Structure 1
């Protein structure tokens, strides 16, 4: 029963039940793993392109007509030479660019805007790195028959159905006018069918944008599910950020040892060591060039206090026993800092006694 309980606790700790931490989110973002819907890109692209066609259709029509007029009225009468062919090619390229440039520019803006809207500014080369795991046929088969693949299939069928219904509805509404186009001029027929095509494109783009909201919601949910963490993962991450407690303890111990060694090196220059006499030891120095008040160069309790007294004795530093003062100085003083104003009088009396003793000696 004990082993069963431990196994259950182990599996519970490994279960992905916790939301991703900010660090986990940042790491996955650096790898290019962000919630993103391609339908948002497609919807924006179609909407802006058909909107551009709707607004600039007259300008494009005029440019095309001008090209045909020049081609059949001027170019057809020119001599077919290398220079003339080059000049005609350059002129036609410039005119075609006037038609294509707005569409290409809008497509570029749509692609950038849709990505910024979803993921913001992000530069990463991780998705471009070669990963042999992606060539694993077993994992590939799992992806093909996964729940995500089923969702993508249903989503594709829904998009095809929506676009099909929309285009059929628009054609059905305008079927009578379409039948009458045989009685109209070619220019009127082309204008009518161009308008109908643009309307179908705009309606389909709006439908895809509505669908993309649902798709983005699902992509975000699926992303959050995939980056969930177990309690063990959170603990491990915390250890990596803060450092292993054992290593941190060793570092602190080393720092204490270095501090103690540096502190002991200051004891020989002290003016006096005030003791408890067994538990506390505080080394005091008065240097007018460094501080207006006496300051603590070393202090400690028990073992460190014993070492301070041994160093003081070996270097002929005077030791004075004053139990209340030693305790108070230890509790209210910092190393390399002046003593508290409330101890001025008591420490001054001790220093006066030490100076008098040194003069006699």
Structure 2
């Protein structure tokens, strides 16, 4: 009795990797292995990289707005039309300045998500789920292992960013002591350069943390979707009983059988046709066969395909409607022709051999 219970518990333990079917099901529900930290780290890194590349043009654009404001805009008459024109002009100038950075951030955000999960758009995720408003479920999530991991991750991020900022600033401590002796432009240049260094260093450090988080999310996801041996068996039985799956499997088997049959047509000595509805390919080797053998047959589309392949490989095609129908109905692929059809088939083979200028022996 105890052994039986132990076996039941063992069979219910989720120790097996998820099957492709299970993975498709959980993906439809929006359950995927994804790290938000990857997107955040890459976005931050490329944002500072853009500032490093386009920082000069960014500053020049801001200065142009400043100059135009004090040289032109403040001299305009205050009216509704001038205010509207001023707003549109300032908005256009601001868009020109920040558009390249926003475009890069957008591309990086999309690319990092595609790299992690591929293209996926699930409308079910935007539906209102009132179960998520349950206070008890909220408390369970608050004191769960996942919440603890997120807390540790947040502390690590704060610690890493703090350490990076301290290290970068500490290396520049001597420069801070002489800032009072520099003009405003040099000070601005120093501060901008320091901010870029801090941003790039912090982004690189967060990227390392993000990679670790992605590995953890992948491991956690794989563990979550594990299946028991019984679940795999049930899934297999379900697939076996699914009419759609059975239909697809039969279609694949039929296609494979037809392809194999078509590949045998070039070996035939003759193809007997109806001429359009039936085609039967016959092969005969007097040294190895006791009687001619049907190596391919088909009706309608398959018959046309057999004739097409026969023509390509210069296999003789003979039209004989009664014989083609009789062979199609009486002989399966791989079988020899029945005794009552020997004479009819023999005459056709003799004719073919005579036309080809070769002799394989006559059937009696």
Instruction: Please give the TM-score of this superposition, normalised by the length of structure 2.
Output: 0.68
Q: Distance in 1 between matches of 2:146 and 2:14?
A: 19
Q: Distance between the aligned counterparts of 2:141 and 2:180, measured in 1?
A: 52
Q: 1:176 to 1:244 in 2, by over 3 A?
A: closer
Q: Gaps spanning 5+ residues in structure 1: where?
A: 249-287, 299-332, 349-361
For 2:66 and 2:166, the matched residues in 1 are separated by 34
1:133: which partner in 2? 131
Using the TM superposition, give the Cα deviation of residue 290 of structure 1 relative to its aligned residue in structure 2, in angstroms: 4.5
Moved more, 51-60 or 140-149: 140-149
Q: What aligned pairs does 1:1-361 form with structure 2 within 5 A after superposition?
A: 1=1, 4-243=2-241, 289-292=321-324, 294=326, 334=332, 340-341=336-337, 343-345=338-340
Q: Contact 1:17–1:229 (CA<8 Å) still a contact in 2?
A: yes
Deviation at 1:129, TM superposition (A): 2.5
Deviations 1:304-358 (A, max 9, x none): xxxxxxxxxxxxxxxxxxxxxxxxxxxxx54xx89732x325988xxxxxxxxxx
Is the Cα contact below 8 Å between 1:296 and 1:338 reproduced in 2? no
1:123 alignment partner, SS class: coil
Residue in structure 2 matched with residue 303 of structure 1 by the alignment: none
TM-score, normalised via structure 1 length: 0.69
Q: Gaps (5+ residues) in structure 2?
A: 247-319, 344-364
Do the aligned partners of residues 234 and 64 (structure 1) sit closer, same or farther apart at CA in structure 2, a change above 3 Å counting? same
CA distance in 1, matches of 2:96, 2:219: 43
Closer/same/farther in 2, CA of residues 194 and 231 from structure 1, 3 Å limit: same
Task: Tell me the distance in 1 between the aligned counterparts of 2:178 and 2:185.
Answer: 14
Superposition deviation, residue 138 in structure 1: 2.7
Q: Deviations over 1:252-307 (max 9, x none)?
A: xxxxxxxxxxxxxxxxxxxxxxxxxxxxxxxxxxxx74434745869xxxxxxxxx
Residue 83 of structure 1 and its aligned partner are, at CA, apart by 2.4
The alpha-carbon deviation at position 179 of structure 1 amounts to 2.8
Count of aligned positions: 269
Counterpart-to-counterpart distance in 2, 1:289 and 1:28:
57
Tell me which structure has the larger Cα radius of gyration. Answer: 1
Q: CA deviation at 1:184?
A: 1.8
Deviation at 1:74, TM superposition (A): 1.8
Q: 1:292 to 1:67 in 2, by over 3 A?
A: closer
RMSD, aligned α-carbons? 2.5
- 1:214-268 Cα deviation digits (max 9, x unpaired): 11000000000000001111111111111189xx9xxxxxxxxxxxxxxxxxxxx
- Tell me how far 1:108 sits from its aligned partner: 0.6
Task: Tell me the SS of whatever aligns to 1:17.
Answer: strand
CA contact (8 A) 1:291 1:338 kept: no
